[in-house]
């Protein structure tokens, strides 16, 4: 008698991740205002800085890296509070806990979609905003590269805060208080990479640290967020 083929567990797990990514992307496409609000906030905050500081080119170049990174950090916080809140409200989160796919992998998929809808657009629009600060094209592309490495860390670490505050009233403020201190190193080294490019210094060390933080976040943040979700739903 021929036994039925059994799908390998790893393949089944990644199928679950693909399903959660496709589902969250469909939801994001149905609510484009959420992603647009993040992008508009980023653009408006960065655009107001030259108006407030003045037209001094050297001063604008000096404050550009930190200002852009602070705006990106704050913009990414806007949609984090809804990362798990909608799933909790409609009962999907309980189904995810019972899914054969490890919850940490599902969290990783949701954080990836959050980055696609928030962090990636910020990085793509950054070169246009860099023109306002008088940055050279080399420095602008360093800014983009630092955002591409750093913003996924914001989404991953933010998923921990979102899991800890899921179902809590006023979760947005509490989430910011929990997450912002944890992502300060990303802000420091992301801005420092652009500063180094402005003076002609080597940026490889800053990128290496950002990449290391990204690897640590990918390895640890989904596990921590999954544990927090299980505690919140117990």
pLDDT for res 11: 54
Q: pLDDT, tens digit, for every residue of 12-48?
A: 667 778 888 888 888 888 888 888 888 999 999 888 8
Place of tokens 């201190």: 181
Q: pLDDT, tens digit, for every residue of 182-210?
A: 999 999 999 999 999 888 888 899 999 99
Asked whether the predicted pLDDT for residue 215 surpasses 60, the reply is: yes
Domain spans in the chain, listed from the N-terminal domain onward: 9-233
pLDDT for res 8: 44
On whether the CB atoms of residues 16 and 106 are closer than 8 A, the answer is yes
Contacts of 113 (CB under 8 A, 6+ apart): 20, 21, 24, 25, 28
Between CA 146 and CA 150 the distance in angstroms is 6
């Amino acid at each position: 008698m021929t036994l039925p083929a059994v799908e390998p567990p790893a393949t089944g797990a990644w199928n679950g991740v693909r399903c959660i990514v496709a589902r969250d992307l469909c939801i994001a496409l149905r609510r484009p205002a959420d992603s647009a609000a993040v992008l508009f906030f980023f653009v408006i905050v960065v655009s107001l800085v030259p108006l407030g500081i003045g037209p001094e080119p050297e001063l604008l170049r000096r404050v550009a890296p930190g200002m852009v990174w602070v705006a990106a950090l704050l913009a990414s916080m806007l949609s984090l509070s809804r990362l798990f809140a909608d799933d909790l409200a409609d009962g999907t989160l309980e189904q995810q806990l019972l899914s054969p796919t490890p919850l940490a992998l599902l969290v990783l998929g949701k954080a990836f979609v959050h980055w696609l809808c928030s962090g990636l657009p910020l990085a793509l629009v950054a070169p246009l905003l860099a023109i306002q600060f008088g940055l050279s094209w080399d420095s602008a592309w360093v800014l983009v590269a630092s955002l591409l490495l750093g913003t996924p860390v914001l989404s991953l670490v933010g998923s921990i805060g979102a899991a800890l505050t899921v179902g809590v009233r006023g979760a947005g403020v509490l989430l910011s208080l929990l997450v912002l201190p944890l992502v300060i190193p990303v802000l420091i080294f992301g801005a420092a990479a652009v500063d180094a490019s402005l003076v002609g210094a080597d940026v490889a060390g800053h990128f290496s640290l950002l990449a290391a933080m990204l690897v640590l976040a990918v390895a640890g943040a989904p596990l921590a967020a999954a544990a927090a979700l299980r505690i919140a739903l117990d």
